[in-house]
């Protein structure tokens, strides 16, 4: 009997029929994007949301795939819903929605990488981005996957050293790190005179983001790097992913275009975003550019 390829799509017709009836009842259209002997992954055609359906109630598969789906959902739901209430201007609300779209793309790629699916989920919205920006989305997903793998193996050691740790699982710790990173970025936009540069000038490419839990992960991995081969390899992979993402960002958000034109920056004032003009003054409302792009 020929061996099945691990990425081969297995169509369980009975399950497909049942799920299709459920989708019709909810007025939803979907497509099958992946399937194997354990589960099917379906995508809502309209919202691009992914759904997981198990072909058999295998506990190990459920825990492995189910947790990854939960993590992907947590990434896709950022910035947090609570911050939307603070988006009191059109620019802030637009930025909140844009960040949600970005994170949904990253979440899908994160899920695909963690479950080692041989598929590439690219929709029409993604096709509108330059290749360098799409590369950033992909590398961000790689970085999150590497961080998740490192979090899983270091968490038991962290719990022993930090008995009062507020996180009871590695999933909670990872989710809070990612949530804090994305929410803190949006919160900075609420500050008057916050300058968002499209050129990569953020501390020479170094991350300024700090999280107590992330510090624990890196501290433990640094102290066990010589004693634990798995942690040593995972830590190196995480560092490599971080460095690769930084280089891609510097390349994508360079100060000037290839023909020498400056890439402008934005400033946020009272929740409104302004583009710098040719005299290097923030005088052009971003809303105006949106209207011009639509014409």
104 and 4 together in one domain: no
For residue 128, give its domain range: 66-294
Contact by Cβ (8 Å): 91, 282: no
Asked if residue 283 and residue 232 are part of one domain, the reply reads: yes
Residues 52 and 93 in one domain: no
Please identify, among 11, 34, 57, the residue that sits at the C-terminal boundary of a domain. Answer: 57
In a shared domain, residues 10 and 120: no
Residues 144, 213 share a domain:
yes
**Same domain as 29, residue 70:** no
Residues 89 and 179 placed together within one structural domain of the fold: yes
The string of pLDDT tens digits covering residues 158-214 is 999 998 999 999 999 999 999 999 998 888 887 765 666 544 333 333 444 678 899
For residue range 52-89, what is the model confidence (pLDDT) as tens digits?
776 665 655 556 678 888 999 999 999 999 999 988 88
Same domain, 31 and 91: no
Is 209 in the same domain as 107?
A: yes
Using a pLDDT cut of 90, give the percent of the chain over it: 34
pTM (predicted TM-score): 0.75
- pLDDT tens digit sequence for 111-155: 888 888 766 666 667 778 888 889 999 999 999 999 999 999 999
């Amino acid at each position: 009997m020929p061996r099945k390829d691990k990425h081969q799509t297995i169509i369980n017709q009975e399950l497909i029929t049942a799920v299709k009836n459920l989708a019709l009842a909810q007025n939803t259209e979907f497509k099958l994007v992946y399937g194997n002997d354990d589960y099917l992954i379906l995508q809502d055609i309209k919202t691009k949301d992914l759904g997981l359906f198990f072909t058999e109630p295998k506990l190990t598969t459920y825990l492995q795939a189910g947790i990854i789906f939960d993590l992907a959902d947590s990434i896709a739901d950022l910035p947090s819903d609570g911050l939307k209430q603070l988006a009191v201007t059109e620019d802030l609300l637009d930025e909140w929605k844009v960040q949600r779209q970005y994170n949904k793309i990253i979440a899908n790629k994160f899920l695909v990488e963690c479950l080692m699916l041989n598929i590439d989920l690219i929709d029409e919205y993604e096709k509108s981005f330059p290749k360098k920006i799409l590369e950033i989305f992909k590398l961000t997903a790689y970085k999150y996957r590497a961080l998740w793998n490192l979090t899983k193996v270091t968490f038991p050691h962290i719990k022993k050293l930090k008995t009062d740790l507020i996180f009871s699982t590695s999933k909670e710790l990872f989710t809070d790190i990612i949530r804090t990173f994305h929410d803190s970025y949006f919160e900075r936009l609420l500050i008057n005179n916050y300058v968002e540069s499209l050129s990569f000038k953020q501390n020479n490419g170094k991350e300024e983001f700090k999280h107590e839990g992330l510090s624990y992960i890196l501290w433990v991995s640094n102290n066990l790097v010589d004693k634990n081969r798995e942690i040593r390899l995972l830590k190196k992979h995480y560092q490599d992913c971080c460095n690769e993402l930084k280089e891609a960002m510097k390349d994508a958000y360079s100060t000037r275009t290839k023909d020498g034109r400056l890439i402008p920056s934005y400033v946020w004032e009272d929740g409104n975003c302004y583009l710098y003009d040719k005299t290097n003054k923030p005088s052009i409302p971003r809303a105006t550019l949106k209207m011009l792009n639509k014409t």
